[in-house]
Amino acid sequence: MLVFFWKLIRKVWWFFAKPIVWLVQRVCVKLALCTRLESGLKRLIQRLNPHLRKHTRIYLLAKKIFALNPKLYARMKSTAIRYGLTRIRGEADMYYAANGLSGKPKKVIILKDDYGLDQRAWSNFREKLLSNCLKGYDTMRGSDNKGTMWICFVAGTGINSNDCADLLKTAQKIKDKSQMPMRFVVMGKIQGGKTNEFKSPHFCFVEDINIFSKMLGDNDIVFFANPGDSIDERLPLFINLNDGFNKDFIIFDMYFIENSRAYPILLHGVDPVHARYCDYFHSRFCLRGRVFHRMMPQLKNFTIRDLALACLKREADMTRLHIPLPLIRINVDHSLITKMRDSVKSRRFTNEFKKNNISVVICTKDNADLLQRLISQIQREPAIKEIIIVSNNSKTAEMKMLLKQINDGSFIRVMHYEKPFNFSEQNNLAAGCATGENIFFLNDDTCPVSEGWLEFLIESIGDGNQIAGPLLLYPNRTVQHGGMFLGFNNVAGHIMRHSTIPDKSVNFGLYAPRKVSCLTGAALLVPRKIFEDLNGFDPLLPTLAQDVDFCLRAVGSGVDLIFDPRAILLHFESISLKPTLKEEHAHRARERELDYFIKKWGAPKDNWLNPNIDVSDESMRSIICSSAIHY
C-alpha cells in the first residue's frame, strides 16, 4: 500500500512540477530581457502623475508578467492592474508626443540658480540642438525666393572702426554660408574712421533710416541687430526653412555671454502684450520690406523698438513667426537687463475703468479667519460691485456666525451649497447670480499684497476679450503661480514655481504682462459675457483641472489669457482641500477626473511655451534638445 501511494505522489508531482519548472525557466529568461524596461519605467513614472507612484511596484511587476503572455492579460480579472498598465502606456505616449521625443529621451541641461551655465557646455548643447533641427531636411528648400535678405546693424549714436571691422568679418562669414542674396548695412556714423576703409560689394553704410528705406525692396526682408552681436551663419537657412520671406515679422531665441557663462533667452512667442511693456526680444527681429515701407509714413523720429511695436499692433493683417532656436548672441549684460526691468516696474498704461462693475465670487468652507481678512481688504476697492460667498457645508460655529454677520443681502451675499465639494458647480451657482460686467473668482485662502492690484487686472482685460490672472506667491514669498503651461503631469503646471522674488531670470515673465495658455482658478478675472458663452466651469471636474479646461475652451474661442505679475496676491493653496486628499475615495475621484480630462483634451499643445523647455520641470530651468521644431 505504501509503495502504491509513493508512486502516485511521484506521478502527481511530476505532472504539476514539469510545467511549473518550464514556466519558471521561461519567466527567468524573459525577466532578464526586461531589466532595461524596468529602469526606464521607473524613471518615467517618477516624471508622470504623482498619484501613480505608490502603485509603481505593482505596475512594474504586472508589466513584466503580462509581457510574457498577452492572453493572460486579456483574461486578467483585476481591473486595478489593468487600469494601471493602460495608464502607464497612455501617459508615456502622451508625454513623448507632447515633447516631440518620439519615445526616445533627449539630452537635458539644467540651468543654475542664476539661469546660466558654463559657456562650453552651452556651446556644445546649442550646436547639437541646431544640428538636430537640420537632420532630414533639404537645406536648399525655400531658396527660390525673389527677394534679398538684409542684415542691418543699428549703430545709434555711432560706431567705432574696430566694431566695423568685426561686422565686416561677420557679414563675410554669413555671406559665404548663405545660399540666398545677402546685403549688409550699418545704420549710423563711424567714429574715428571713414567708410571707404571698409569696402565690400555687399556691405554699405547709411546715416539715416530713410535712405535705407529706399534701398529695401518690397520682397526683401531685413534683420535688425546691434554692433557687437554675433549672428549664427545658419540664420538665413532657418529663415528659408520656415518660409520666412512670406512672414511679416520674425523673432528668434537669443543668448549672451558674461564672465564665461552663457545665459539663454528663450522666448515664448510673438507676444504684442508682452512687447508693449518690455523689449523682451531686445529689438532683434526680422521685418518684411513691404511692411517696413507701410510703417514708415506713420512714424516720426522713431527707434527700432517703436517700429516693432507699430508692426505688432497690426495683428489682423500681420503674419508673425517665432523661430525657437538660439541663433543670435546679443551684446548685453545683467546690468542692462536690470535697468530694463526697473523701467518695466514703473511703466503703466492708465485706462479708465467703471466703478462697481466687478462681482467677486468666493467659495469657502470653514476658514473664517482667512475669509474675514480677505473681505476686509477687497471691500474697499471701488471697482467691486458685490461679493458673493458660496458656503460649502460650513460646520464651525465661528464660520456660521461670520456668514450671518456679513450677509447684508446687497453688497455681500451668502449662498449655501449643501452637496459634496464641487468647485465648478459652486462657482457656476454664484456666477449665475452675479450682476457685474466682470466676475472675479477668488479663493478664500488668498490675500492681496500689492497696491493697485485690481486696477492692473482691469487694465489687462482691456476691451473685454481677455481673461486676466495675477501673480500668486506662497507665504514665504516664492512663486506659486506665474501663469500656467500645458503638459506638466499631462494637465498643466505653474510657470516659475518656487522661484524667489526678485528672480535672477534673464526674461521678463515675472515683471511684465504676457500671454499664456492657462491661468489658475484661484484668482481669475473673467468678463461675464465670456463666462456665459463658455457655459462656465465643467461640473464633471469638481476638484481638479476645471480651470485648465475652462482656459482651453476660452483659447479655442479666440480669447486671450493675460498673466499680469504687477498684481500680486498671497495664496495658501488648497488649505480647505488638503485634509480631504488623505482619504482614499478622494484619490480615486481625482484619478477619475484626470482620466476624464485626458480623454477630453488628450495632449494639447502649448502655443505660449518655448518648445525647448522641458514640461516636466515647473522651474523653467530644464532645457531639452528637442526635435519638436518642425518646418
Asked which of 346, 379, 412 is the last residue of a domain, the reply is 346
Cβ–Cβ under 8 Å, residues 466 and 560: yes
Q: Is residue 116 in some structural domain?
A: no
| Closest C-alpha to 315, from 351, 350, 291 | 291
Whether residues 327 and 196 share a domain: the answer is: yes
Report the distance separating Cα 167 and Cα 180, nearest Å. 19
> Is residue 23 domain-shared with residue 68, that is, in the same domain?
no
Any domain includes 352:
no
Domain identity same for 274 and 373? no
Q: Judge if 52 and 5 occupy the same domain.
A: no
Ramachandran area for residue 261 (φ above 0: left; ψ -120 to 50: alpha; else beta):
beta
Number of domains composing the chain: 4
Could you state, in chain order, the average pLDDT of each consecutive group of 10 residues for the chain (631 residues)? 63 60 54 47 45 44 51 45 46 45 61 92 92 69 69 75 73 78 81 58 78 88 90 90 89 95 95 94 94 84 87 81 95 90 70 77 92 93 94 91 89 93 95 95 94 92 90 93 92 92 86 96 96 95 94 94 96 63 72 89 89 90 69 39
Q: What is the widest separation between alpha-carbon atoms in the chain?
A: 120
What was the pLDDT predicted at 181?
84
Output the pLDDT for position 194: 57
- Give me the pLDDT at residue 32, please: 45
308 plus 226 within the same structural domain? yes
Residue 629 falls within a domain, yes or no?
Answer: no
Pick from 286, 321, 346: which residue ends a domain?
346
H and E: helices and strands count for the chain: 20, 26
Do the Cβ atoms of 161 and 192 come closer than 8 Å?
A: yes
Which pLDDT belongs to residue 186? 85
Domain boundary among 313, 346, 379: 346
Residue 111 lies in a domain: no
Whole-number average pLDDT of the chain: 80
Residue 269's domain is classified under what CATH number?
A: 3.90.550.10
What pLDDT score was predicted for residue 167?
A: 77
pLDDT tens column, 338-384: 888 888 865 666 556 667 799 999 999 988 999 999 999 999 899 99
The pTM assigned to this predicted structure is 0.81
Strand pairing class (149-154; 182-187): parallel
Query: Is there a single domain that holds both residue 476 and residue 620?
Result: yes
Share of the chain above pLDDT 70, in %: 74
**Cα–Cα dist 292/602, whole Å:** 41
CA distance 177 to 622: 31
Pair 307, 367 in one domain: no
Integer Cα distance of 378 and 559 in angstroms = 27
Q: What are 569's three cell numbers?
A: 496676491
Asked whether residue 318 is assigned to any structural domain, the reply reads yes
The kind and range of the H/E element at 321 are strand 320-329
Residue 356 CB neighbour total at 10 angstroms: 14
The reported pLDDT for the residue numbered 413 is 95
The pLDDT value recorded for residue 423 is 95
Structural domain boundaries enclosing 564:
358-624
Q: Given the C-alpha cell 507676444, which residue does it identify?
A: 271
Residues 26 and 44 in one domain: no
Strand partners, 264: 255
132 in a structural domain: no
